[in-house]
Amino acid sequence: MTPVMTADEISTFLDREFPQIHAGGRAYSIDSVSDGQAIVRLSATEMHLRPGGTVSGPSMMALADLAAYVVILAHIGPVALAVTTNLNINFLRKPQPGDLLCTCRILKLGKRLAVVDCAIAGEGSIKGAEGFVAHASATYSVPPR
Ordered by start, the domain boundaries in the chain are 7-141
How many alpha carbons fall within 13 Å on the CB side of residue 132?
A: 17
CATH topology of domain 7-141: Thiol Ester Dehydrase; Chain A (3.10.129)
* 49 compared with 88, residue with greater pLDDT: 88
CB-based contacts of 122, cutoff 8 Å, min separation 6: 95, 96, 98, 99, 100, 101, 131, 133
pLDDT digits (tens, 9 = 90+) for 66-118: 999 999 999 999 988 999 999 999 999 998 878 999 999 999 999 999 999 99
What percentage of the chain has pLDDT greater than the value 90? 75
pLDDT digits (tens, 9 = 90+) for 5-14: 999 999 999 9
pTM of the predicted structure, to 2 decimals: 0.94
